[in-house]
Amino acid sequence: MTTPTEQDPDLAWLDDATRRFAQTEVLPFLSDWEDAGEFPRTLYRRAADLGWLAMGYPEALGGTPCSWQLRNALVIALARQTGSGGLLASLFSHNIGLPPLVRHGSAALQQEVVPAVLRGEKIAALAITEPGGGSDVASLRTTARLEGDAYVLNGEKVFITSGMRADWLTVAVRTDPQNKGPGGISMLLVPGDSPGLQRTALRKMGWHCSDTAQLHFDEVRVPARFLIGQEGAGFKMIMGNFNGERLSMAAMALGFAECCFDEALAWARQRKTFGQALVNHQVVRHKLVDMKMRLESTRAWVQAVTVQADDGVMDADWVAQVCLLKNHATQTMQFCADQAVQILGGMGFMRGTQSERIYREVKVMMIGGGAEEIMKELAARQLGL
């Protein structure tokens, strides 16, 4: 299996760093974190110290500008080494929460919020989905009315990653009650400790160590200067933000699929049935080959779309590629998780194996950030079908 190192020798340090991080700072504690429903806040500081939280952000905000190729190489390597979607989802929730601010917010607001998040001192999250629906973003109902120098929020958000302990929430709100469509939507920053904001933890199929919340806004007042960009520009920001999220999710899915392959291969080499190692049974070997075939195509496609992003090729065709790639990569993850659990046999059904956890984390990858059906529709539109 190719690793980032083999693809690009300059990335050897990334393989080493993520392996060390996983083996010493994650894997020995992961089961406990999954039971607790969160990982320690100190891990954000640790990831910041390693330079991982700041990747891709402007220097002026404490970031380290870098290519999409490097960012995705990190995501793939971390996913492969830790095998924990919950860890990646919460540790990097700022990568969906901050971009609207970094792209469209005032310099003063950026300075107030971003550097502390990149230092791992504060947590940022994104809140778009509502109990009434997530796919149809344009019809969201949480409102924010301007009263003097404050916006007053009322409404509900659901399934929000890092929602229980985020210090900053980037919230999609309807600022124009007359406009029920995309033009009435704006983006507001909401401090996590705002009076009137109630957060409820949600129990899930997987991603157990990620804190996921339902948020209830009851007359929550935030300063008007926390508006990101212009009123009514929120929908476009959300759509632009989705491209990066979906590309990262494809990279994550690839890493988790590789993690399943690694575990299944190691098991198949040491486990013996009928006098020989599992891997020597042709049927088992072919399962591994079928996994490898999908892994290789996914890796090549992730690489191609990522290079296009670095080259600034982000046209309609690229958006379609991102949608199709997210579906392809998550299907690869689904296939590999299924095959790995089968190869592990009863052990694959036991808590504590990577494949068991990843098997439970497949569906959120196929639904979150845009469900498979929505990806197909969006791709069809972009391709003019």
Ligand X SMILES: Cc1cc2nc3c(=O)[nH]c(=O)nc-3n(C[C@H](O)[C@H](O)[C@H](O)COP(=O)(O)OP(=O)(O)OC[C@H]3O[C@@H](n4cnc5c(N)ncnc54)[C@H](O)[C@@H]3O)c2cc1C
Task: Point out which residues bind ligand X (CB under 6 A).
Answer: 125-129, 133-135, 159-161, 204, 207, 212, 364, 367-371, 373-374
Least separation in angstroms between CB 192 and ligand X:
14
Marked catalytic residue, from 38, 130, 245, 263 = 245
Cα–Cα distances (Å) from 70 to 13, 33, 251, in that order, read 12, 28, 11
Cα–Cα distances (Å) from 150 to 100, 101, 132, 189, 237, in that order, read 20, 18, 26, 12, 22
Instruction: Please give the angle made by the CA atoms of 306, 110 and 75, to the nearest 5 degrees.
Output: 30
DSSP secondary structure letters along 251-302 = HHHHHHHHHHHHHHHHHHHH-EETTEEGGGSHHHHHHHHHHHHHHHHHHHHH
Q: By C-beta, is 70 or 322 nearer to ligand X?
A: 322
d(CA 17, CA 26): 13
The residues facing 216 across adjacent strands are 156, 198
Least separation in angstroms between CB 84 and ligand X:
13
d(CA 247, CA 73): 12
Q: Is 121 a residue of the active site?
A: no
Q: By C-beta, is 92 or 318 nearer to ligand X?
A: 92
Least separation in angstroms between CB 178 and ligand X:
24
Q: Per the structure block, which two tokens stand in for 52?
A: 């991982």
Q: Per the structure block, which two tokens stand in for 317?
A: 């065709």
Q: By C-beta, is 308 or 327 nearer to ligand X?
A: 327
**What is the DSSP-derived secondary structure letter of residue 369?**
T
The residues facing 160 across adjacent strands are 213
- Report which of 224, 216, 142 is spatially closest to residue 185, judged by C-alpha positions: 142
Q: By C-beta, is 279 or 364 nearer to ligand X?
A: 364
Q: By C-beta, is 208 or 294 nearer to ligand X?
A: 208
Per the listing, tokens 């033009």 go with 183
Kindly report the backbone phi and psi dihedral angles of residue 145, in degrees, each rounded to the nearest multiple of 5, phi listed first: -105, 140
Residue nearest to ligand X (CB): 134
d(CA 303, CA 297): 10
Q: By C-beta, is 278 or 356 nearer to ligand X?
A: 356
Least separation in angstroms between CB 313 and ligand X:
26
Residues recognised as catalytic: 245
